[in-house]
Each structure stands twice: as C-alpha cells, then as structure tokens.
Structure 1
Amino acid sequence: MILAFGGFALLIVSGIPIVLGLGIAALITIITFTDVPLAILAQRVYGGVNSFPLMAIPFFVAAGLIMEAGGIARRFVDLASALVGWITGSLFMVAITTGTGLAAISGSGSADTAAISSILIPEMKKRGYDVDMSASIIAAAGSMASIIPPSIIMVVIAITTNQSIGAMFLGGVGPGLLLTMALLLGAWAFAKRGGATYRDTEAFSRGRLWTAFVRAIPSLCVPVVIVGGIVGGVFTATEAACIAVFVTLIISCFIHRELGLGDLWPLIQRAISLSAAVLIIVSTASIFSWIIASLGIPQALDAWLRSVTDSAITFLLIVNILLLVVGMFMESISAILILLPVLMPIAVGYGIDPVQFGVLTALNLSVGLITPPYGICLYVASLVAGRSVEQVSRRVWLVLIPMLLALFLTAFVPAITLFLPQLVYG
C-alpha cells in the first residue's frame, strides 16, 4: 500500500493528471502485490460510476452554469448588496452573502467563484479595494458550495459512506451558516482597519431591499425546491438535480430572459466536459478504494490509532490536520474516495456520528479549495482578478483564520451539524 500511495504522490509531483496518477499507481500495485486479473481494473472503473445517485453531478454542474449565464447570479448579488451593502467593507459582505446564496443552487465552488468574481472584482478595483484580499474573500465565498446544500461533494460523501443524502445536506446547513458568519466578521475586521476606502457604503434602504428581493424571488425558489424536495422525500438527489436544471432554464430563458436557445449548446458542452472530468476521477479512485479495503488498511489504521489514543477529541484533531494537508495537494473528490472508506469506520468506532464526520470532511476539503498549491477556487479568483496565485496567497491566511475557527467549532460541537438532521429524521 505504501507503494501505491508513494507512486501516486510521485506521479502527481511530476505533473501528471490526477486521474492518470490514480490509475497507474493502482495498476502497479495490483501487478506487483496481487494475483488479481487485470480485467478487474475495467470492472472497478465501470463499477465506480455505475451509480444512479452519481448522475446528480452532471445535472448540478449544468444548473450552476445556467445560473452563472442566465442572470440568477446577478440577482443574488443585487439582493446581497441591498441587504449588507451598507456595512463597512460592503463589497466583501456582498461577495460572502452572494456566495452563500449561490451555493444553495449550484453545488460547485469553481462555478460560484467565477460568477462572483466576474461581477464584483471590477467594482472592487474601481473602489480601490485590496485586490489580493478581494480575490481571497471571493475564493472563500465560492468554496462554501462544498458545505452548503446541494453540494456535489456532499453527494459523493453520502454515496461513498452509504449515508442519507438528505441528512448530509441538512447537516451542512449549520456549519455553512457558521462559516458565513465567521467570514463576514473576519472581512469586517479587516475593512474596519483598512481606512476610508472600505467605508464607501450606501445607506440602508428598505425600498431597495424590497425591490431586490422581489426581483430575486424566482431565483430564491430554486434552493427551496431542491433541498425541500430531497429532505421531504418528494424526489431523490438525482431527480432534484434534474429539476434544478429545468427550473434554472425556465427562470433564465423565460423570466429573466437573459439566456437564449442559442446559448444552450455551449453550456451543455461545458457541463459535459466538467462532469466527465469529475466522474473519471471517481471511476479511477474507486480502484484505490477497493485495494485499500482488500488489503485491510482500515483495520490496521484503526489498531494503530487505538494504540496511540482512546480519545475521540485527539482522533478528530489528527484527522482535521490530515484532511487540511491533503486538501492542499489533492482534488476533493479524489481525497474523499481514497480516505473516507478508511477513516469513516474508525470515526464510528470512536463514537462519532457518521453524518457529522462526513460534514466535517467536506468542511476540511472546502478549506483546501482556497489553499495553495491546489486550491481551485483560489486559482479562479486570481485569474479573474488578473493576479498570480502567489500574490493572492499572501492575503489568503487572513481568510483562513475565520474558516479554521468555524471548522474546529464544528468539529467539537456536534449539535451545530446534527441539530437539523435529528430534528427531521429523528
């Protein structure tokens, strides 16, 4: 197993795509240490994506792209601006609040980051905001799509650990709102010390808020339909994703009228491309998961951890540090498929609720979306801002502080995660 992980790490450092690194490392391990016929590879690759719930991923991706192109993102920005645009550091507040709203539709951090960046970065530059700090905050706002339902990462975690997708979605609500508040307070504290630039705010207006709310009502209905339908048992996560595409299309084409039929084919092509990239990683990572299980790695790791500590708190500290480091170097879905089959049984053995541990995993990996060298949301925000990742990274630690505080509070106060799932499912 050391050969598999070591080979995978070496391949990634050499610059090879993750999907090839996973497949080659697994192939070498099977050839070297097992008598398993190579045909098993093809079976595992197919079995990794032969899942009805995984069909939610391409539809949620498509819904996010339609949201970005069809005016839904703009309505959320306008509503957030009317709601919090009067606070010091107004555009920071707007970015974070918008990220929370968009996360409840798309489930894709990179799509949300791109939408928020394209709308707010030009205005932030115009007002003289610190561009690197602005990009860091927008990246953090986009990363909330990993934790706030309907999160694609949550879908993968639920499928991988055989948990209820509805319970996972509800479990993400409390930590997601806590993360929003932490980011708002952190951004406000930075803006408060930043001088007159960040006090260029508009007076709060009930009339403006009401107008923005009325214009955003169709867009606000989307997360209510998606999450409400799943939690209420009206439809599955996959069916909800299909409905999300249908609803965002209706809103964008016939209510907002910002998306024409001629715009759909490029969006479909992009959705297919992004979904294929995710699903091929799922398929090759499933080989790794199978090797880990067949070699008894979870049992060996459990025995080692039990010899080190019997404390669930110490275990959570170790796992949080592990996931934060892994998130810096590995794509989230790959990390989930490789590590969670090992860690989840151990967490349950320590008495940790599987829904809480799944949500905690998603929260850790959402931090990884803004930490170099791999943080995809950081890359997107830097690209739109016209800055290098190295430049933006000098400010990202200011955003990481509130995110880590929210992470550790979630880890050690289970009620933040479990209150809603227990209320609904008992």
Structure 2
Amino acid sequence: MQTVRHLSVPATLSELRHSFSAARTAVCLIEVFAAVLLAVEVTILLCGAIWRYALNSPLIWSDELASSLFSWLAMMGAVLALIRGEHMKMTAVVKRWSPALQDWAESVSSLIVCVFVAMVMLPAGQHAIGQMEITTPALNIPDGLRAFALPFGAALMSLVAVAKAFSLGSFRRTAWAILTVAIVVAILWVSAPALIAMGNLNLLVFFVALVGVAIVLGTPIAFAFGIATVSYLALVTHAPLAIVVSRMDEGMANLVLLAVPVFVLLGGMLELSGMALALINFMCSLLGHVRGGLQYVLLGAIFLVSGISGSKAADMAAVAPALFPEMQKRGSDPEELAALLSASGAMTETIPPSLVLITIGAVCGVSINALFVGGLMPAVVATVTIALVCWLRTRHEKPTHAQRAPVKQILRTFVIALPALLLPILIRVAVIEGIATATEVSTIGVAYTLVVAVIARLCGKPVELRRLYGMCVDAAALSGAILLIIGLATSMAWALTRSGFSSQLVSLMQSVPGGTIGFLLVTIACFAILGSVLEGIPAIVLFGPLLFPVARSMQISDVHYAMVVILAMGVGLFAPPFGVGFYAACAIGKVSPDGVSRRVWPYMLALLIALVLVTFIPWVSTGFLGATPNF
C-alpha cells in the first residue's frame, strides 16, 4: 500500500511561486533578443539613410526588413516592460491603500492582463497564419513571419502576468483576486442581453466604468484599453476578436513609429556620452552668477534636450540631478525646484522630436515636418512665461556669491558643449528641411552620439560604453510600453467608431456654442483632463483621429490644433493632484508632493497663459509654415 504524501497549501504555493520565478527568469532572456533587435534596426536604418542620401543608391529592402523586425521589437519590448513593471499606469489611488489591498489590487490587475491575452492569443495566431499567404514585395518572404510576433509576445505576457498574480501576498489574497475577476466576468456575461438592449449607453459600462476601474486598480493603461475592447466586442457585438488583433497590428506596425525606440535610445546615449552634462556646464558658466541664473539654466537645458529621450521623466532626470545640488547650495528651496521642474516638463511637450508629435503625425495624418516646424514657437512662448515667473520669484533674492565665469572658461565649456549644441539643431533641421525622415534622423543622431562618446573615451573621459547594452534593453522596454498603448488604443478607437460614437462625438463637438472658439475651449478642457489620467500618447491615439477632422471642418490648421492639444495635455499631465508627471517631478526632486503642490500653481498659471496665447494667436503655431488660418 503506497503512502500518500499530504501537501499543505503553503508548501504547494511555495512550489508554484518557485516555478513561476523560474519562468520569469527564463523570459528575461528576451532582453538579449530585444537589445540585438534594436541594434540591428538602428544599423539597417542608418545604412538605408547612407545609401539613399550619400551614395544615391537606395536599398529597396531596408525599410521592409526594418518594418518586419519592428513588430518583434515592439512585442518583446512590451514583454520586458511587463516583467519590469514599466507599463504606463496610474498608481496615485492605490498607493493610498493598505499594503494588503495594494497586493490584492496588483493581483487583480495581473489577472486582467491574463484574461486579455487569453482572449486574443488564438485570434493572434490565426491572424499570423493568415498573413503567411502574403509575401513582401522586396524580400519575397511571408508576412506571417512578422505577424507571429503578436501571438508569441501574448504567450510570454500571459506567463509573466500569471507569475505576478501568484507571487504577491498570501494564498488567500490571491484567491480573493481570482474571485473578484471571476465575479466581474460572470456579471458581464449574464448582463449581456441587457447591455445589448441599452444601445450605445453600454459604451459607458465598457469604456468608462470598466476602463476607469481597471486604471484605478493600477492596471497598465494598454491592457485596460484592451480588456474593455475585447469585452465589448465579445458581449454586445458579432465582430470577431481577430479585428482587435488586426487593428493592434496595424497600429504598431507603422514604420513612422520606429523613431520611438531609436529616439529613446538616443536620450540615454546623451547622458552616457557626457553631452548633457557638458551642455549644463556651459549654460552655468553663462548664467550661474545672476539672480535665479540656475533656474534659467534648468529651463534652457530642458528646452534643448526635451523630446529626445521619449520620456518626460527621462528628460527631467537627465537635467535635475546635475543642477539641483548646486541650486540648493545657493539657497534654492527643494520644493520650489521640483515645482519649476514640473512646469518645465509641461512647457516643452511641443518641442521636436517629441514622440507626441510623431504619434500625431502617424495616427492623424499630419505632416511630421510641419509639426516639427510648428512646435518650436509655442514652446518658446511657454518658456518665456515660465521664465517670467522665475524672475518675479527671484528678483528680491540676495545676490549670489558665485563669480562671473571668465571668458576663457566660457569658451572652454562652449567648445566641450558644442557637439551637444549641434545635435538638436542637426535633428530638427534635417527633418524640417526634408533632408531625412524622423526615423532616419534618429539613427543618424545615435551614430553621431556614439562617435562623440568614443572620441570622449579616447580622450580619457569616463565614458562607460559597456552600458550600451543596458540602454538598448531600457529603450526596448519603454518603447514597447508606448507602442502597445498605441496598438490597443487603435483597436479601442475602431470599436468606438463601429458603435457610432465617433459620429455622435463629431456632431456634438460641431454644435458646441461659440463656434470655433467654443470648440477650442472644449478641446482644452477635455485634453487637460485626459492628459492627467492617460498621458499624451494614448489620449491622442483614442481621440485624435476623431477630433482632427472636426477641426479641419472648422478650418483650423492641423498644426495649430495639434499645438493646442499637446499644451493642454501637458498642463493636465503636470498639474496636481492627478497629473502623473507632477509626481514624477517630485520623485526626481526627492521631495513630498504636498509641499510642491502649493508652489507649482504660479507656474501652471503661466502655462495656461501661454496656452491661451497659442490658442487664440494661430500665427504662433503656423507663422513659419507660410499660412496663417483665421477663425
């Protein structure tokens, strides 16, 4: 008679956690794959640009190969972001809860990810198999090889999500999370006939209530969009879930968006090469001796490096640690510095090569060249208004003890900073003049920065080139998170369009009292709210394709409307108490948000003044485009 070994629940759970941990460790091998993919993408695009512009012999296969690899890079990046907890999400509410409730909420959000990927995995596989029948024109290979990135990535994300759900808290807490999700699924399933009978009011259930609850619980925004979309299509429509996959694939495969991971990598390389620090040192030698001089240096540095990293937090983190210690030595209040940092992040949302500009160009059909031209003057206006607040706040300070830098020191720091000063000019001029596309110029910028880093190392500077691998992994993860939002927001936007909501929204916006002025004011209010919750890119992907045609029907320039939208979202993103960018600035400044929130409002008021000026003086956005539309 065999002896039966009785396993206790805690022992079984421990074994499960160990196996999930091993699975997660195995998935981390994707880092190497993602880093190599990004390096290969940069090489292919750089070679394509050189052969096209320098050798006048275009490589007809380069864009096609880059596009095929891009789908794999996006999905592997999304997997990495899930492993590392770097998907965009709102945690301001959950952080106020007890540790037990936080663990429960994180388990629920992980299970939401599991449910979503389980619902799309089979349609993703079918979509990839269907794409095998299509061959690419230049390389003559099946397009399914590219499309298989979606089911492969979904499978990996399901493993990661399950591992996270069962590795948090106690077995009882995990069981409660599973029960919570099961109850919600059962309620939605049983309520399907009633939801169908509600007509378009059921959109409030799926795209307001369900998305809102998921986001409040800390579910990554991309998966909150995804679960709402598949739930809506599965329960109240006859549309196949393959539509979600195809729209997601379409949204993520746009070659214009390949600039996203490359610009993110470029931002990291700016810090690696020492160019960001050299730029700050030069500006300090010019302005460090005047009252509030370092505040102006902070504004100028953010203006010059903004948009290149692909993350507002990364922009701020590249500048603040180099400036804040010296500013505090000179008597600046840490909370005041964090407030200024928050405002400076909001003011530069329109500066090229901002990823929000690239996203608008890709999903709304607006010329990226025109957006790059139009984005500079609104940022200048916002910078001047912020600088005015700095002057008002520092004009009565005691004179600084810092000495005016001698001319010799200014010239020396200028020479050292010259490569950093030339890079933003190189990027913006190349795109604005049509010399290269935004994607191509991003690879040129990476090559340029790498050459500078190698030269600096040969000259004895402490440049750690071994950090390039980690930067490639970081860039892949951040861009994967961004691209997954774009893909799933594209699917959600299609569902809203299919329901008829888009036409209703267009009619509503066109009937706003006040005509064009009323429409612009409503736009500002809506995107300020959306920016505080969703950040820029998901809000643009969801509502940009719906509202830009309305703006065109009112004879508002696409570029002008884009600047209004972006600045409004910037104000929402960095305004307390909901703006996630505001909390990022406080974290970088290492201060409590409570004290900063009292000091940030004068800067927010200055940004609102800048927004009003940009809104009602279209020339600010379009004056250098050769056309000034009237209201």
**Bin of the TM-score, shorter chain as denominator length:** over 0.9
Matched ranges for 1:311-390 at <5 A: 311-373=515-577, 375-390=579-594
1:15-414 mapped onto 2 (5 Å cutoff)? 15-103=218-306, 105-193=308-396, 195-196=397-398, 199-203=400-404, 205-255=406-456, 257-373=461-577, 375-414=579-618
Aligned partner (choices 388, 394, 419) of residue 623 of structure 2: 419
Q: Is the 8 A contact 1:60 1:107 kept in 2?
A: yes
- Indicate if the aligned counterparts of 2:363 and 2:544 stay in contact, CA closer than 8 A: yes
Q: Report the alpha carbon displacement of residue 259 of structure 1 after superposing the two structures with TM.
A: 2.6
Instruction: Note if contact 2:528-2:570 (Cα within 8 Å) is conserved in structure 1.
Output: no
Rounded to whole Å, the distance in 2 between the matches of 1:401 and 1:380 is: 20
Which amino acid is 1:185 matched to?
A: L
Shift of 1:267: 1.1
SS at match of 2:566: helix
Instruction: Using CA pairs under 8 Å that are at least 6 residues apart, name the structure with larger relative contact order, 1 or 2.
Output: 1
Give the equivalent residue in structure 1 for 2:204.
2
**d(CA) in 1 for partners of 2:563 and 2:410?**
33
Q: Does the CA contact (< 8 Å) of 1:112 and 1:145 recur in 2?
A: no
Q: Which runs of 5+ in 2 are unaligned?
A: 1-202
Contact 1:99/1:112 (8 A) holds in 2: yes
TM-score when normalising by structure 1: 0.93
- Give, in angstroms, the shift of residue 290 of structure 1: 1.0
CA contact (8 A) 1:99 1:144 kept: no
Which amino acid in structure 2 is aligned with residue 232 of structure 1? E
* Aligned Cα root-mean-square deviation (Å): 2.1
Change (3 A) 1:208 1:291: same
CA distance in 1, matches of 2:354, 2:528: 19
Quickly say closer, same or farther: Cα 1:374–1:111, change in 2 above 3 A: farther
- The offset of 1:172, in angstroms, is 0.3
CA contact (8 A) 1:68 1:111 kept: no
1:207: how far off? 4.1
Three-state SS of the structure 1 residue aligned to 2:328 is helix
Report the secondary structure of 1:175's partner residue: helix
- Unaligned ranges ≥5, structure 1: none
Following the alignment from structure 2 to structure 1, what is the Cα–Cα distance between the partners of residues 318 and 616? 33
Shift of residue 105, structure 1, vs aligned partner: 4.1
| Aligned partner of residue 492 in structure 2, secondary structure | helix
CA contact (8 A) 2:346 2:567 kept: no
SS of 1:303's equivalent in the other structure is helix
Percent identical pairs in the alignment equals: 31
Give the residue type in structure 1 aligned to 2:622.
L
Counterparts of 1:86 and 1:10, CA distance in 2: 51
Which structure has the larger Rg over C-alpha atoms? 2
For the 8 Å contact 2:532–2:580, the answer to whether it is kept is no
1:125-170: CA deviation from partner (whole Å, max 9, x where unpaired): 2222111110121232234442111111100011111011010011
| Contact 1:106–1:150 (Cα < 8 Å) also in 2 | no
Cα distance between partner residues in 1 of 2:391 and 2:402: 13
SS at 1:146 equivalent: coil
Name the counterpart of 2:40.
none
Q: 1:48 to 1:364 in 2, by over 3 A?
A: same
- State the TM-score, normalized to the length of structure 2: 0.64
Deviation, 1:5, is: 2.6
In structure 2, distance between residues paired with 1:327 and 1:377: 10
Instruction: Describe the superposition over 1:86-139 as per-residue Cα deviations: whole angstroms up to 9, x where unpaired.
Output: 332122111101111112644532211001111112222222211111012123
Q: Could you report, residue by residue, the CA deviation over 1:332-364 in whole angstroms, capped at 9, with x for unpaired residues?
A: 111111121221111112221111111221222
- Counterparts of 1:330 and 1:95, CA distance in 2: 27
Q: Answer whether contact 1:158 1:358 (CA < 8 A) is retained.
A: no
* Secondary structure of 1:62's aligned partner: helix
Task: Give the CA deviation at 1:286.
Answer: 0.9
Tell me the amino acid that sits aligned with residue 224 of structure 1: I
Tell me the SS of whatever aligns to 1:308: coil
Per the alignment, do residues 271 and 407 of structure 1 end up closer, same or farther by CA in structure 2, a change over 3 Å counting?
same
SS of the counterpart of 2:560? helix
Q: Which residue of 1 aligns with 2:6?
A: none
Query: How many residues get paired?
Result: 422
1:382–1:221: structure 2 CA closer, same or farther, 3 Å change rule? Answer: same
